[in-house]
Amino acid sequence: MNSTTLPPGVVAAADIRMGSGRSRKFVGAEHGADVSYFYVENEPGQGPGLHWHPYSETWVVLEGTARITRGAEVFDACAGDTATVAAHVPHGFVNAGAGVLRILCIHASAIMIQTFLDED
């Protein structure tokens, strides 16, 4: 289905795709929702640099292994695991596995506010 045949309240993956890959960015405020998310597909070694948000974030690892940095902690989360980070805590993740990492990054905000540490 494309976005013209979906019922109201359903967002087509193609409409929120980031670049030419499979990752997506859903900004809740644009769709009447109180949360936002990134659906990310990363190859081994890929991931965002350290950053923070003025709200909490929750990660759900759908496939693969994410090496998560949360403040001074570094730990691995595998498919099926859920991890969280509090507001204002620097964090990031990289694909620590040999295959694709699929992870859902849920932002407790209708808009995304993301500050990378190299921007502070």
9-40 per-position pLDDT tens digit: 899 999 999 998 899 999 999 999 999 999 99
pTM: predicted TM-score of the whole model, two decimal places = 0.91
What letters, b where the CB count within 10 A reaches 16 and e where it falls short, cover 67-98?
A: bbbbeeeeeebeeebebebeeebbbbbbbbbe
Mean residue pLDDT of the chain comes to 94
Specify the pLDDT at position 3: 60
Average pLDDT over residues 2-13: 83
Of 108 and 21, more confident: 108
Specify the pLDDT at position 17: 96
Q: Where are the domains of the chain?
A: 24-119
CATH topology (fold) of 24-119 = Jelly Rolls (2.60.120)
Which tokens is 12 given? Answer: 């087509």
Q: What percent of the chain has pLDDT over 70?
A: 95
